[in-house]
Amino acid sequence: MSAETTLAPSSEAERPPGLPSRVWQALVESDMLHHGSFVVGAAMVAVVLLCALLADVIAPYSPFDTASLANLQPPSTAHWLGSDEFGRDILSRIIYGARISLQVAVISVGIGMTLGSAIGLIAGYYGGLLDGVLMRLLDVLWSFPAILLALVVMASLGPNLNSAMIAIGIIFIPIFARVARAAALVVVKNQYVEAARAIGLSDAAIILGEVLPNALPPILVQTTLAISYAIILEAALSFLGLGAQPPAPSWGSMLNFGRGYMAFAPWTALAPGLAIFWAVLGFNLLGDGLRDLLDPRLRRVL
């Protein structure tokens, strides 16, 4: 103790990290590199991320260029995944497709996470009648099959990528609301919430400053899982012709067009199918790994 006292005003550099870096620290301390699914998932997601970010650099051809090759050519050394019905390089379209998939996934999950978490935190914090009404409304939303709900939204907003993002975002609202509410219900019982009231903090300040930081880990895990689901939903909507419109290189619409040539040019459908599989599996593994690493330990570490 006395030795510590002499250290007194120390440098700013010794400052422990803030909350995001503490989540990171928790991950580091929990030897995440020994967690199989986390490592594999992170690696698979990294590939998708790199494709999306560096598509212009790594894609060998333009995703729209129909002149480079005859149509429906099988895979070759020049065109690793062959060409589609308009002679476009499939590998390039897959790489650019990662952009659309991630863009839709991130924005729609962002919408769902923000609105859902806000509703869930408010419901869990106030409880009572407000909680009951909000959660029952979300139960109604939740009870629609996802695709059906998306179709209804898209029908009213028109078939394009923006309405696909909104539709998928709406699907995620009840999922995030439930996760956030469950976390908030636990947090509000803690004495520090009462203590926050006793120093005169407003409800809004308590929800943002006390409840949200404590509810963050489960919301974070849900986010990764939701991204993989959003990728599937985007592909499904594009497959149905409701999402990305041709000639945009969306995995879902590529799958749809490739479907017609399955018998004699299977690579046209197989490539986007495998791309979807890869991305979804990657995010699922990452999410599972995060849940294992964060859930049991965060309570101790944070």
Taking contact as CB under 8 A, which single stretch among the options 68-76, 110-118, 159-167, 190-198 is the one that binds another protein?
190-198
Is residue 77 a contact residue for another protein (CB under 8 A)? no
CA–CA–CA angle 63, 59, 111 (5° rounding): 75
DSSP state, 243? Answer: S
First to last CA, the chain: 24
Using CB under 8 A as the binding rule, whether residue 5 contacts another protein is answered as yes
Neighbours of 217 (CB within 10 A): 21
* Residues from 107 through 166 that contact another protein (CB under 8 A): 128
With vertex at residue 248, the alpha carbon angle to CA 244 and CA 254, rounded to the nearest 5 degrees, is 80
Instruction: For residues 287 and 22, give the distance between their C-alpha atoms in angstroms, rounded to a whole number.
Output: 18
Q: Least separation, in Å, of the C-beta of 182 and another protein?
A: 17
Of 99-107, 134-142, 207-215, 239-247, which segment contacts another protein by CB under 8 A?
Answer: 207-215
Q: CA 85 → CA 59, 174, 247, 255, distances in Å?
A: 19, 40, 12, 12
Q: Which is nearer to another protein, 1 or 263 (CB)?
A: 1
Query: What is the rounded distance in angstroms from the CA atom of residue 2 to the CA atom of residue 114?
Result: 47
Binders of another protein among 20-59, rule CB under 8 A? Answer: 22
The count of residues interacting with another protein (CB under 8 A) is: 34
Among 141, 149, 185, 201, binds another protein (CB under 8 A): 201
Q: Which of residues 260-279 bind another protein (CB under 8 A)?
A: none
The residues of the shown chain that bind another protein, judged by CB under 8 A, are: 1-2, 4-5, 7-10, 14-16, 19, 22, 128, 190-192, 194-202, 205, 209-210, 213-214, 216, 300, 302
